[in-house]
Amino acid sequence: MRDSKVYIDDIKDALKRIEEYTKGITFASFEKNQMLVDAVIRNLAIN
């Protein structure tokens, strides 16, 4: 079993990526961009 700090670090990294991907993007633009939606969903699915 992985240490809980590793999980927290993974979550923080994923949130940083999501912020980078969506910076300056309106929700209307976000929901029209399937690749971006998929990237955000992927980062929300922390293993």
- The per-residue pLDDT for range 8-43, each reduced to its tens digit, is 999 999 999 999 999 999 999 999 999 999 999 999
pLDDT at 2 over 90: no
End-to-end CA distance of the chain: 12
Q: What is the pLDDT of residue 30?
A: 98
pTM of the model: 0.84
φ and ψ of 26, to 5 deg: -75, 160
pLDDT of residue 47: 60
Confidence of residue 3 (pLDDT cuts 50, 70, 90): confident
Instruction: Copy the structure tokens of residue 14.
Output: 């994923």
Round to whole Å and give the CA distance between 25 and 40: 13
